[in-house]
Amino acid sequence: MLSLSAREHIGSGSFSESDPMEHPGFFERAGPFPLAEVARAAGAELGPGADGELLISDVKPLADAGRGHVSFLDNRKYLPQLANTRAAACLISPALASRVPAGTAALVTATPYHGFARALQLFYPDALRPKVSRAGSTVPIDPTAQLEEGVLIEPGAVIGPEAQIGRGTVVAAGAVIGYRCTIGRDCYIGPGATVTHALIGNRVILHAGVRIGQDGFGFAMGPQGHLKVPQIGRVIIQDDVEIGANTTIDRGALNDTIIGEGTKIDNLVQIGHNVVIGRHCVIVAHCGISGSTELGDFVVMGGQSGTVGHIKIGTGAQIAGASHPKDDIPPGARVGGTPARPLKDWARELAVLSRLAKQGRHAPGTDEGGSET
């Protein structure tokens, strides 16, 4: 899987601000707010012993949260992270409230994911309408953008405030580079492509119509309707990545969506929020990768394959075309079918079905199509 250094850096030698941890961010954060106010906004009750005056400064995932942060748990799969969290408070269901560790206040609610969405709206009120360019501007390149010498901007392209673009990069006609985005050196941004909430390394190719950094598909579902969850993460694309026409890569919800160095992605691929793709992977056309899935290095996904969310595909694994893993895939495995299983097992199943079909066609009392006569 991606190492810590790969998660934290766009790539060696990237143009300016190459460490995304130093980036000023794409959203303005409100607060801090007393814990009692956070609980009210989230529709939660303070658990026993919780200090309602404690100041909360941000919303973070369980694994990343520290003092002054509120987190949430809505999936039992992450109970081990809850046990080790350093969060000041956690939105959690009544059934699991007793599992909150000492030092973390329980914010008890029947719908923790809804509470998480409302807490994000409290801290990031502008996240549902993020900035791309300056309202009312009549110039295509914002005066605060930083372009190195040798950048080529074709007619109709728009470069937003505080964007940075490295030398030798071409931004083709009609492309949009949004607020505070960073594009490395010797990149090509194709016609009509849009890049928002993204940090991109060197020698990256985005073909026509690529969409980078739009909202992830995040909703807190409920019988009264579906509450939109603000998406405040980013997209990080490392060096030497190529992304095919009309492919879409959503920004993360809290963490970043990451595309590893040297990975090649074909046309019409959908990559969901918080996905982490390793180095030198090959993703063929019409694939869909659901949110929070992680791919190791050198993974190959055949055309029209796809994954469910929150699984891990090990380094060197190969997924056959039109196949769909629903569980973790070990490193080096070759799988096929729906749900995906080891390639040899899938091939044997297909062979058995083929033999049964042939036997049925030649059984007494059936015509050539296998129907009864």
Please spell the DSSP secondary structure of 16-45, one letter per residue: SS-SGGGS--SS-----EEHHHHHHHHT-E
Distance in angstroms (rounded) separating the CA atoms of residues 350 and 345: 9
Query: For residue 256, which of 242, 238, 275 has the smallest C-alpha distance?
Result: 275
Does residue 23 carry a catalytic annotation?
A: no
Distance in angstroms (rounded) separating the CA atoms of residues 336 and 319: 6
Q: Residue 364: which residues within 8 A CB-CB, separation 6 or more?
A: none
Biggest CA-to-CA distance, the chain: 82
What's the token pair of residue 245? Answer: 């026409």
What's the token pair of residue 5? Answer: 């250094």
DSSP annotation of 148: -
Distance in angstroms (rounded) separating the CA atoms of residues 125 and 146: 28
Q: Residue 169: which residues within 8 A CB-CB, separation 6 or more?
A: 151, 152, 183, 184, 185, 186, 187, 188, 189
What's the token pair of residue 325? Answer: 């893993």
What's the token pair of residue 67? Answer: 């003092």
Distance in angstroms (rounded) separating the CA atoms of residues 125 and 138: 27
Active-site annotation holder among 273, 310, 324, 362: 273
Query: For residue 214, which of 200, 235, 184, 229 has the smallest C-alpha distance?
Result: 235
What is the C-alpha radius of gyration for the chain, rounded to an integer number of angstroms? 24
CA distances from 323 to 1, 272, 286, 311, 337 (A): 21, 18, 12, 15, 5
Active site residues: 273
